[in-house]
Chains A and B, each alone.
Chain A
Amino acid sequence: MARSSQRKWVTGYLIAVAAIFIIYQFLFPWEGLPIGIYDFLQLWLPPTAVNESLVYVICALGLNIVVGYAGLLDLGYVAFWAIGGYCAGWFMSEFFYQINLHFFGSVARTAPGIHVNFWGVLLIGGLVCAFFGILIGGPTLRLKSDYLAIVTLGFGEIIPQVFFNGDDIAGFNLSNGTKGITILDPIPVGAKNIGPFDFGYKFIIFVLLAALMVFISLRLRKGKLGRAWLAIREDELAASMMGVPLMQTKLSAYAVGAFAGGLGGVAFATHVDGVYAERFNFSISIFLLAMVVLGGMGNVWGVIIGALLLSWINSTGLPAFGTTFNDKFGTSINFPSFTFLLFGLVLILMMLYKREGLIPESRLRLILHEGDAEEDLTSKESK
């Protein structure tokens, strides 16, 4: 039952990945591609948008562990994204030119700065974020849900501000302030270096990272920790009375979620080939939360759909629709400026009519549709 539907999801995603890779890697550079098709793809499915949406997938999967599995509302997830991004900025560029440190880096050994291998930076970014997750979670996770949400909100505001103003911390330049840190080292894969414009290969790398998060989510969900997270979401008091240590379990959810944020941050930095403080704003936290809610809290496959869909609408769908619409009817409506109106509307409608998300975890559907629960369950199980 559950396993076969899982296999369907995996197969579906693999086909999509293969199709997109072929389009980027072979169809796009092909001279014989009719210009109409090229323009169409460039308008509706540009490579940058696809790669960016995968960064959102990675982060949304992390947030899903915190919000979907453990039931802790986190409104400041962008902080982890930012910390991960700056880890990439610090450890794979010439930013700290005073130091000359190379660790399997992808640039010449004479280059100044810290140059750690991309895969090493991923690990560093993830672990630093997990550390900050525990640091911020320690004092705040004792709070009840609403208060926790407010504190995380503050955390999500503070961290980007620190980076924004971090070009002169007692004379030390931590983040290069508004100018940001740019030109990152290419990603070494075997003997090849993948630069900022190798969309196809970067696409595969991001897919692998997302797949890693899916794997981690599913494995943890099935194990001891995942059960404890769900138990806490269901009934905190009963869980503690059954020997589940609340703080430790919530902290681990926070740490794993933050780890994913770190991966996403590093990936995003390589995607835009730089780190800019003004890009880490509050709306990203809300955006990610909307992806988790829209897709279906607690269901990784749904969350992926939610992340891809919202990210695509935001970066491509709405502007492309606007351009087409304006061309056709000779209007000059600024469609992208309605993004948040649209998302707000979608979320309100979702909460009114489909609170469990597009592809819900079967358990959650039961809570939200008390009345028709029985019928729902039997139809689900018999599939």
Chain B
Amino acid sequence: MALSTNNVLLASNISVQFGGLLAVNDVTFGIPEKSVVSLIGPNGAGKTTFFNVITGLYKPSSGTVNYDGTDTTDLPPHKIAALGMARTFQNIRLFGLMTAEENLLVAMHSHLKSGILATIVGTPSQRKEEKESLDRAREILDFVGIGKWAGEYARNLSYGDQRRLEVARALALNPKVLLLDEPTAGMNPQESQVFIDFVYKVRAERDVAILLIEHDMKVVMSVSERVTVLDQGEKIAEGTPDEIRSNQRVIEAYLGKAKGGK
């Protein structure tokens, strides 16, 4: 499948400096509409830092982030999220003592219009809004396959279901871009395979582009339409999974350089 040339998200010439450390160096990265792209690289390559720049947690030292026609470089995270950029976390960060459906309702916060007084009084429009958002939350939970746990505290779900709930919560933001930070960390091969199918399903049924940060090469190579490789803060390669597999610099970054001679 050919990638769309329209980028829903474009990060241009991003650099991030922590004191003397250049964590990300002049990286340009676009996410085409409705695509699945991956960002890989050895530990400390700057993947998560780059992720945090896109989502507004860090401000880049230089460069701009443009999301769906809006310059989001200087926006606070909650505004970027409200625009429709949703993420999951490397180590699951659910609201553990809220139910699964409440987790989703929190993510709908920016879409709900009722004010304090309307909530206290319980105006008809507030009730309607609450009911609609609850229906939508249940629909999303059903979509990711954990509908039966809607009323359960998030922390009581199994690991795999918590991962699904994180994706569901992200989907509740109605995102155009879904950023998954190491979603299969801690999963065994079977679970990873289930997760791959799940990513396909999300992509097929929701109009959303997916950016994946992942260590599991099997997952990366099977779901990505494009793979970008970071090493020591720099983009060293970008291309289809097949191109990346045979790229000399990538192999060096992961396995080290062969010492000259033999």
Chain A positions within 8 Å of B, measured between CB atoms, are 215-216, 219-220, 223-225, 227-228, 230-231, 234-235, 237-246, 252, 256, 363-364, 366-367, 373-374, 377
- 8 smallest beta-carbon distances between A and B, as pairs: A223-B119, A243-B110, A363-B97, A243-B81, A238-B93, A234-B95, A242-B107, A243-B82
Chain A residues with CB under 8 A of B78: 240-246
CB atoms of A224 and B95 under 8 A apart: no
User: Are A220 and B89 touching (Cβ within 8 A)?
Assistant: no
- Please indicate the chain B residues that have their CB under 8 angstroms from the CB of A240 in the complex: 76-78, 81
Query: CB-CB < 8 A to A237: which residues of B?
Result: 57, 93
- Residues 164 to 208 of chain B near chain A (Cβ within 8 Å): 169, 173
One of B55, B95, B119, B130 near A235 (C-beta < 8 A): B95
Is B1 in contact with chain A by the CB < 8 A criterion? no
Size of the B side of the interface (Cβ < 8 Å), in residues, is 36
For chain A, what secondary structure do more than half of its interface residues adopt (helix, strand, loop), or is it mixed?
helix
Given A238-B95, A239-B95, 12 extra CB contacts under 8 A: A219-B122, A220-B116, A224-B109, A227-B106, A230-B97, A240-B77, A241-B81, A243-B109, A243-B110, A245-B78, A366-B97, A373-B156
| Distance of B94 from chain A, by nearest CB (Å) | 7
In the complex, 30 of the A-B residue pairs with CB atoms within 8 angstroms, ordered by the A residue number, are A215-B120, A220-B119, A224-B105, A224-B114, A224-B119, A224-B130, A225-B116, A227-B98, A227-B102, A228-B106, A230-B95, A230-B98, A237-B57, A238-B89, A238-B95, A239-B95, A239-B106, A240-B81, A241-B78, A242-B81, A243-B109, A244-B106, A244-B109, A245-B76, A246-B78, A363-B97, A363-B98, A366-B155, A373-B156, A377-B156
Closest to A370 in B: B155
Cβ contact within 8 Å between A225 and B98:
no
Chain A contacts of B119 at CB under 8 A?
A: 219-220, 223-225
User: CA of A61 to CA of B81 in the docked complex: distance in angstroms?
Assistant: 32
Whether B12 sits at the interface, judged by CB under 8 Å, is no
**In the docked arrangement, what's the CA distance between A220 and B81, Å?**
23
> What's the nearest-Cβ distance from chain B to residue A215, in Å?
8
**Residues in B neighbouring A367, C-beta threshold 8 A:** 97
Distance (whole angstroms) from the CB of A376 to the closest CB of chain B: 11
Residues from chain B with Cβ under 8 Å of A227 in the complex: 98, 102, 105-106, 109
Complex alpha-carbon distance, A364 and B97, angstroms: 8
Q: B residues bordering A, Cβ < 8 Å?
A: 55, 57, 76-79, 81-82, 86-87, 89, 93-98, 102, 105-107, 109-110, 112, 114, 116, 119-120, 122, 126, 130, 153, 155-156, 169, 173
A126 to chain B, nearest CB (A): 13
Most buried by A among B95, B98, B156: B95
Residues of B within 8 A of A239 (CB): 95, 106
Distance A316 CA – B169 CA, assembled complex (angstroms): 51
Q: Kindly provide the distance from the CB of A61 to the nearest chain B CB, expressed in whole angstroms.
A: 14
* Chain A residues with CB under 8 A of B102: 227, 230
Task: Note all chain A residues with C-beta closer than 8 A to B95.
Answer: 230-231, 234-235, 238-239
Q: Which residues of A contact B98 (CB under 8 A)?
A: 227, 230-231, 234, 363
Q: How far is the CA of A139 from the CA of B112 in the complex (A)?
A: 27
What is the CA–CA distance of A252 and B97 in the complex, to the nearest angstrom?
22
Residue of A nearest to B166 (CB): A238
Q: Given A227-B105, A243-B82, do A252 and B116 touch, yes or no (CB 8 Å)? A: yes
Please pick, from B57, B79, B97, B120, the residue contacting A219 in the complex, using a CB distance under 8 A: B120
